[in-house]
Amino acid sequence: MPTLALIATGGTIAGAAASATDTTGYTAGALGADALLAAVPQLAGIAGIRAEQLFSLDSKNMAPAHWLVLGRRVQTLLDDDAIDGVVITHGTDTLEETAAFLALTHASAKPVVLTAAMRPATALSADGPMNLYSAACVAAHADSAGRGVLVSFGDAIYPALGVRKRETHRLDAFGGASAGAIGRTDPLRYFAPPAAAPRPLIALAPDLAELPRVDVLYIGAGTPPGLPDLLIADGARGLVLALPGNGSLPSAWEPPVAAAVARGIPVIRASRVGMGPIGRKAMDDRLGTHPAGELPASQARVALMLALAGGDATALDRLLADDYIP
């Protein structure tokens, strides 16, 4: 059997409540990796599991500093010839950002699979045990090799880039980019061969201590266009605009956005709409902005942070215009 590394980081999948009928008033990350494994003895029939507790977080408290620690630990495990794949348990709130970070900094053929849960482990019908079982099946499956970082949730398999949480309470909380799920786990199958070998946006430098600050601005009708100047003055080195519709930039925002770009502050046009790509427009050439492509604003922020950290001005355009996302 293959050997999988399980990295537990907390989240609802490790949550505990006083009552088995309580699915909202619980403490995330209360249980350790051993408790997660004990709830799924069937894992022993899939792979040997080496479990470790890296964090015990409610994922709303996940920060870029945690990504760096997790990313380096994942790389160490991927470099270990005794490890055939990595499974990461995480909270749902920021799973899409952690998944994007890992996808953009790792290029191993070995599977890295994130999973989570919408109900705490103590709930009558907790979804975490089955999600963990499915994620381990994905990580142990030969067809998962070469597909980069994946998210296994419910019965679906998604590529990390483009995935986003789309529901606040439903068990099928996640969706993918325009192409949707690339496979299912009931039974496990993929709909097509891997599109391309995974490629990192940047190599994760061993001495990288922090990521540059990038802020997301949600733009509503009449949102004042002076906000970019305030954020830049406060230390933001990049901006992601969650804009109406197809990344539609209000006319009043064009002068401050152009001024920010002229000052060396990269700006990404993303959408506040839940699904759909943001393509290149004439305004991008005129103002110097970058369309987010298939990335939600949350993941576009991660990509911009990494591009800035790598000091590669062309990396972001390669990501957003190339074939990173199926």
Per-residue pLDDT of 270-286, as tens digits, reads 999 988 999 999 999 99
The mean pLDDT of the chain is: 93
pLDDT at 49 over 90: yes
pLDDT at 164 over 60: yes
Pairing between β-strand 267-271 and β-strand 290-291 as defined by DSSP bridges: parallel
> Comparing C-alpha atoms, which of 226, 298, 312, 230 is closest to residue 266?
312
pLDDT above 90 covers a percentage of the chain that reads 84
Under 8 Å between Cβ of 66 and 57: yes
Please report, for the chain, the start and end positions of each structural domain, with discontinuous segments joined by +: 3-190, 214-321
- Side-chain half-sphere CA neighbours of 212 within 13 A: 19
For 235, which DSSP code? T
Helix boundaries (H) for the chain: 33-38, 64-78, 95-105, 128-140, 227-233, 254-262, 282-287, 297-310, 315-321
pLDDT at 321 over 70: no
pLDDT at 196 over 80: no
Taking phi over 0 as left and psi of -120 to 50 as alpha, with beta for the rest, 154 belongs to left
Q: Quote the pLDDT of residue 317.
A: 72
For 237, which DSSP code? S
Which residues are CB-contacts of 305 (< 8 A; sequence separation ≥ 6)? Answer: 64, 211, 212, 213, 214, 238
Least confident segment among 159-168, 250-259, 291-300, 304-313: 304-313
What average pLDDT does range 73-92 have in this prediction?
A: 97
Which residues are CB-contacts of 257 (< 8 A; sequence separation ≥ 6)? Answer: 228, 241, 249, 267, 287, 289
Domains 3-190 and 214-321 share a fold: yes
pLDDT at 74 over 60: yes
Q: What is the pLDDT of residues 2-31, one digit of tens each?
A: 999 999 999 999 999 999 998 888 999 999
Measured over the CA atoms of residue 210, residue 55, residue 74 and residue 172, the dihedral's sign is negative
Give the confidence band of 313 by pLDDT, cuts at 50, 70, 90: low
- Name the CATH superfamily, with its identifier, for domain 3-190: L-asparaginase, N-terminal domain (3.40.50.1170)
Q: Which residue has the higher pLDDT, 46 or 25?
A: 46
Q: What is the CATH number of domain 214-321?
A: 3.40.50.40
**Helices 95-105, 64-78: crossing angle, 10 deg rounding:** 50
CA–CA dist 205, 208 (Å, integer): 5
What average pLDDT does range 107-132 have in this prediction?
A: 96
pLDDT at 323 over 70: no
Locus of tokens 């519709």: 245
pLDDT above 70 covers a percentage of the chain that reads 96
Under 8 Å between Cβ of 240 and 270: yes
Give the SS3 label for residue 179.
coil
Q: What is the pLDDT of residues 207-257, one digit of tens each?
A: 889 999 999 999 999 999 999 999 999 999 999 999 999 999 999 999 999
What average pLDDT does range 150-172 have in this prediction?
A: 95
Q: Quote the pLDDT of residue 64.
A: 97
Active site residues: 12
